[in-house]
Structure 1
Amino acid sequence: MTESISKKPSPDFREGTSVTHWGVVKTTVVDGKISKIEPIPEDRRPSPNLKALAELPYAPSRIRYPMVRESYLKEGIASRDRRGEDKWIRVSWEEALDLIASELKRVYSEYGPSAIFGQSYGWKSPGTVNSASTLQRRLLSLSGGYVSGVNSYSTAAIGTILPYVVGTGDPQSTDWNVVLKNSERVVLWGADPIVTNDIDWSTTLHNYFPYLEKLKTSGIKTIDINPVRTETGEFLSSEWIAPKPGTDCALMLGMMYELESSGKSDKNFLKNCTSGFEVFRDYLLGKSDGIPKSPEWASEITGITADKIRLLTHELADNRTMIMMGWGIQRIQYGEQPHWMAFTLASMLGQIGLPGGGVGTNYHYSSGGCPFHVGPMIGGLAPRVEPVPPRLKPWKGSAYIPVMRFADCFLNPGKTIEHNGKRLTYPDIRMVMWTGGNPFAHQPETNRLLSAWKKPETIVVTDCFMTATARHADIVLPAQTVFEHSDICPIGTYTNDGIAANHAMIAPIGESRSDDQI
């Protein structure tokens, strides 16, 4: 339990804990303004972003007041082509909320709940009370329902395919203590833990880092497979193997061909613990398509020499090996294949279930692989509740769409797509409620998104900052940063290290409100 670090408050000086995605910190306020942010002693590797966090509430891009596009105020929904071009008009909270409530009532009445897209990627406040995504979805559930986005940009492909492969979309990684005791080779495949473990969906103590320090001095050889040299690879002095981007499957196929042709594939494991290897083997050896997936074949695609592919294969087969896969390699077309292939490779090596062997898919995030603490966990509000008002219009189309397909949905209402073994029909979205996220920064094909963003009749964005997404809204509402409201937060998504109190340290900037108030 992380308690408040406080001195007797005075008008010009106070200290307290704040909870951020980059860690639990001690915040010092002088004359009503944040003067310093420091890590708490328990933080194993304080984030390099703490100085920037101290400046965050005062950023020039801060949204200080409710605002509405000028043309939207004058012409309403007929002005949507001017999103991103209009100047903003400051309005009162009452006027802004009345506009939004009026639009919600109109869209529900004329089109029904399937015309409202309630999306939030939610990376603003990590607290459970002011969770932007949870609160907005709860609001829309209570209002009559909404279309949601499913999956995430981080793990959409791996989270969809792995339940069919190993029974769960996010397998628990082998404990770091077991790795350090038993592994002889550690492969960082598309993973850079020092960079990506800096944040957590909740908050973090960065527990992973002492294990990396031990790995560095352990004598265990590490191999960094990545098109670019990673910070973790540099820190560990790892051997660097740099395939061309997007060719990970070809590299693994070349390795598996070598395992099979050299007689080193673990036939007992494949027979007793897997299903379908015979079909895969015919593909691997070229019997089903006439193309043997040899190291030479893989070399042409990956840019790694055939000799190097063979050497790597035998090194992993001859030593207890833990393959640590990152998520970046599945953020491509056919992104379900790389991690599916990784578990196939680990199965052919036959080390899954052996101490320090096999494959893990979350060592690079939220201190995955660190021990999980048994203790109380904070529950949160349910994002979906039964709608209170009756549905005035029947539902049209699917109740959800894949998170990355919302632009396609806006542009093509009524279109049917295949998703995870089902057929989905795009609803006709008339109103968008977005909070705590910035799809203009992470959605691919930005120009296509820009076209799609002009299709809905009304777009409302709640945020702390005037992001690109907010600039292309009709109505923007100013949300508080974590330094302006109190909250409570679990520490460690994968580790359950405790519970942290977040204290309101400064007065709200402008007329900003907490997500709960909004």
Structure 2
Amino acid sequence: MSWSPTTSHWGAHRARAATGGTVEVTGHPDDPAPADLLRNADAVAHPTRVRAPAVRRGWLEGGGVRGSDEFVEVGWDTALDLVAEQLRRTPNEAVFAGSYGWASAGRFHHAQSQLRRFLNTIGGCTTSRNTYSTGTSEVLLPHLVGDADIVMRHCDTWDTVREHTDLVVAFGGLSAKNLSVTPGGLTRHSSAVAVGSLTGSGVELAVISPLADDGPPGARWYPVTPATDVALMLGLAHTLLAEDLHDREFLTTRCTGFDVFAEYLRGMRDGVAKTADWAAGICGLPADDIRALARRMAAGRTLVTVSWSLQRIRHGEQPVWAGLALAAMLGQIGLPGGGFAHGYGSMGDIGEAGPLRQLPTLPQGRNPVSSFIPVAKVADMLLHPGQEYDYDGQRRTFPEIRLVYWAGGNPFHHHQDLNRLRRAFAVPETIVVHEPHWTATARHADIVLPVTTTLEREDIGAGRRDTHLTAMHRILDPVGQARDDHDIFLGLAERLGTAEEFTEGRSKRQWLEHLYSRWRADLAAEGHDLPEFAEFWAAGQLRMPATPPRRPLAAFRRGEPLATPSGRIELFSETIAGFGYPDCPGHPTWLAPEISDRWPLRLIAHQPRTRLHSQGDVGSLSQESKVEGREPVRINPRDAAERGIAEGDVVRLFNDRGACLAGARLCDDVSPGVVVLATGAWFDPLEDPAQPGGTLCVHGNPNVLTADVPTSSLSQGCSGQQALVQVERQHGEAPPLRYLAPPRILGGDEQSVEA
């Protein structure tokens, strides 16, 4: 059988059906570094696939417990009738559309767009704003530079950095593991090659992270104490100020509020000068090294970049703001290869040279309901309806949610304090979930509707800096009774009288042609001649027209104002100061992280190397990384020896929120006092009243340990990157894993269900 084109969030590739209902994959021929994540494609045929619509038995009978109940398989007509009836009886504001958008790289079968488009046809719903990945920065940066994309999307390419930059100072590192992934994927993974070659090109790299492998070989590692990057940034800034190495003209003509920030650096208000010696006592780096780095930064073209990980901790606004202030003091913002950027090393398309342009997009329609929450407040919303909270200068109120409709996401992967989330998921009257697999989210639902994966449907796909648009041919027949999200919503729309509005009279293939043709017409207006849909589909791909790079900060440097109140970079924001938030003052500030003698180790819960978030955890690449079937936890040999832990031991990580098991990997690349447990292991809770939170995740999901608290009152962003924990060897035989098999499922009896 011949290879067919498709794409994924980890890159464009070729695929074909194989024996046993599984699939073979190979990288795109133009890709210099195809992602290892392609190996997880065999998860498509895993026994955890949801084979038929299923309803939680306790929900049918008016009892039971979400997360531990058995399910009853039903026919599609019964399942859709049940969902339609729940939607019919639930006020629109009381319906929460809980999609999170990573389900498919396709532009049409984008679960969040499909869900919101459908719900908008029946009167709307409560939605979420921003992302778990960058929710803090998405709120903060508009106050500082007018538009978050200026420093997150319109950054210099790696070629520009190689040509013009003398020194890259990477707070949070430049982790190679993150460069495989981008929303919609990439045809060419150039960043993985570019980052690895920087040091050989003469560019110096200063990698500031508690993990040595957060940078490429040849970089200088600064093993900073976790959650103290802001103290280091302030120590660097004070050195620039004290030694008159700062650019006074740039700070005067292109920034506002530096005088306030300078007073803070000198300690004129709190009596504490933020010197290199002060910073050294907090961040764990020698003061002489801090002063030397500051002088090196001022001696040439320097790029200051802050990873997304640093804004996913308590007070996550501060490292972004302090990094911007540090770059402003150097006066190089807007110069090629210099200044400030946010996200190099955090995502595969940041620094790529591909065209940044609008892609074909499914319209969601208009939502008549104005109610929304910041995305990481879902548990608070469910647990505390009617409670007020702060958000970006507003005082908002949580709505009362009676029905949660989740399509395209796994909150039991990406949310924090999963024991608290379980309590929150017990509150709504009904939870409906679209899922290919029996994840923890599906197991905590009342009605589970099996959906196809990318390989089982047609679509068109591309990333926002991709070089190609891909015709995503269907590779496999749907597993079991799985249907596309679109078909499920069409079935519901037919029952609720909105089918015509939902489909606009188009079939799925006609929608693909429509989205492509509309996009093609927009590009024709720009002077680009692209093939008709049929020709594109037969070819399997087309090369995207080039677009001139946008460098908004270069225009700002030339005199074009920013969309801030002052038109300048706001090193002190009167707007934010006016909100009066103690956890987010009006200028970059050192706000000390939580410490505890009881929980002496700082857990870093970063993105995994072997899957995308929780996607593909049952795939071969992810499974091969496990230790005794558990997610691996990296620990410094010194910390392991103090606890009697040997390589390969099953260990228990715990704090006062929860506990999980993992497999020990001893690693010198991890600083003492730090343990690293990647996110994305499927939550596998064992009820145990003796454990913190009442359950033990026997598989190794770190979000049983992370706190469900916001970064600050300003953004209400996710703070799940770090947590304080203790680690010990597991005593006795470890409990068995259960996530690799479906829950108990009873044979369908539609008559009894309908009755």
Q: TM-score, normalised by structure 1?
A: 0.90
Tell me the equivalent position of 2:344.
363
Query: Is residue 216 from structure 1 mapped to residue 199 from structure 2 by the alignment?
Result: yes
The within-5 A match list for 1:316-355 is 316-355=297-336
- Which of 391, 398, 413 is matched with 1:426 structurally? 398
Matched-pair contact (CA < 8 Å) for 2:22–2:45 = no
Report the residue type matching 2:313 in the other structure. I
Distance 1:180 1:130 in 2: 38
**Kept after mapping to 1: 8 A contact 2:224/2:285:** yes
Corresponding residue number in structure 2 for 1:417 = 389
CA RMSD in angstroms, aligned pairs only: 1.6
Q: Secondary structure of the residue that 2:487 maps to in structure 1?
A: coil
Work out whether residues 413 and 426 of structure 1, in 8 Å CA contact, stay in contact via their aligned partners in 2: yes
Aligned partner of 1:192 among 168, 171, 174: 174
Deviation at 1:371, TM superposition (A): 2.0
Give 3-state SS (helix, strand or coil) of 2:353's partner: coil
Q: CA deviation at 1:506?
A: 1.1
Superposed counterparts of 1:262-281, under 5 Å = 262-281=243-262
Decide whether aligned partners of structure 1 residues 40 and 93 sit closer, same or farther in structure 2, where only a CA change above 3 A counts. Answer: same
Deviations 1:422-447 (A, max 9, x none): 11111001110011111111111111
Paired residues of 2:15 and 2:25 also in contact (CA < 8 A): yes
- CA drift of 1:207 comes to 2.4
Q: Is the 8 A contact 1:28 1:37 kept in 2?
A: yes
Deviations 1:282-326 (A, max 9, x none): 111100111111112111211112111111111111121112221
1:31 to partner: Cα distance: 4.6
Give the structure 2 partner of residue 442 of structure 1. Answer: 414
Q: How does 1:139-158 map to 2 (within 5 A)?
A: 139-158=118-137
SS at match of 1:126: coil
Give runs of aligned pairs for residues 14-413 of structure 1, distance below 5 A: 14-31=2-19, 33-53=21-41, 55-75=42-62, 79=63, 82-107=65-90, 112-171=91-150, 172-204=154-186, 205-231=188-214, 233=215, 235-364=216-345, 365-373=347-355, 377-385=358-366, 399-413=371-385
Whole-angstrom CA distance in 1 between matches of 2:392 and 2:32: 39
Shift in Å, 1:35 = 4.4
User: Is it true that 1:513 corresponds to 2:501 in the alignment?
Assistant: no
Counterpart contact for 1:187–1:322, Cα < 8 Å: yes
Deviations 1:219-268 (A, max 9, x none): 2111111111225x2x3321001111111111101111111111111111
Structure 1 residues not aligned, in runs of 5+: 1-12, 388-394
- SS of 2:12's equivalent? strand
Shift of 1:32: 6.9
SS in 1 for 2:386: coil
User: Following the alignment from structure 1 to structure 2, what is the Cα–Cα distance between the partners of residues 125 and 370?
Assistant: 21
* Residue 481 (str. 1) matches residue 468 (str. 2): no
Partners of 1:192 and 1:91 lie apart in 2 by 48
8 Å CA contact retained: 1:14, 1:30: no
**Corresponding residue number in structure 1 for 2:468:** 498
Deviation digits for residues 119-153 of structure 1, max 9, x if unmatched?
A: 11121111011101110011111111111111100
CA distance in 2, matches of 1:198, 1:30: 25
The structure whose RCO (Cα within 8 Å, separation 6+) is larger is 1
Q: 1:472 aligns with which of 444, 447, 467?
A: 444
Change (3 A) 1:69 1:426: same
Residue 33 (structure 1) shift: 3.3
The CA deviation at 1:196 is: 1.0
Could you tell me which residue of structure 1 aligns to residue 434 of structure 2? 462
| Equivalent residue letter for 1:183 | T
Contact 2:310 2:316 in 1 (8 A): yes
Partners of 1:461 and 1:475 within 8 A in 2? yes
Q: Distance in 1 between matches of 2:477 and 2:466?
A: 31
Q: Distance in 2 between matches of 1:148 and 1:35?
A: 36
- Evaluate the alpha carbon distance shift between residue 374 and residue 23 of structure 1 in structure 2; reply closer, same or farther with a 3 A threshold: closer
Q: Do the aligned partners of 1:14 and 1:29 also contact (CA within 8 Å) in 2?
A: no
Deviation at 1:216, TM superposition (A): 3.3
User: Is the Cα contact below 8 Å between 1:27 and 1:34 reproduced in 2?
Assistant: no
Equivalents in 2 of 1:309, 1:192: separation in Å?
Answer: 20
Q: Aligned partner of 1:57: which letter?
A: V
Whether contact under 8 Å (1:191, 1:327) holds in the other structure is no
2:76 & 2:356 partners in 1: Cα distance?
Answer: 44
SS in 2 for 1:161: helix
Higher mean Cα deviation, 94-103 or 301-310?
301-310
Task: Give the letter for the 1:287 counterpart.
Answer: M
Match of 2:298, SS state, is helix
- The aligned counterpart of 2:662 is none
Cα distance in 2, alignment partners of residues 374 and 85 from structure 1: 46
> 1:62 Cα deviation (Å)?
1.2
Distance 2:443 2:285 in 1: 45
1:459–1:473 Cα contact (<8 Å) kept: yes
User: Which whole-Å CA distance do the structure 1 matches of 2:478 and 2:342 have between them?
Assistant: 40
Structure 2 segments unaligned to the other structure (5+ residues): 489-755
Letter in 1 for 2:16: T
- Secondary structure at the aligned position of 1:163 is classed as helix
Provide the C-alpha distance between the structure 2 equivalents of 1:56 and 1:291, rounded to a whole number of angstroms. Answer: 55
Give 2:145's aligned amino acid.
V
Q: Distance in 2 between matches of 1:321 and 1:148?
A: 41
Change in 2 beyond 3 A, CA 1:371/1:431: same
Mapped partners of 1:206, 1:406: distance in 2 = 34
How far apart, CA to CA, are the structure 1 residues paired with 2:313 and 2:134?
11
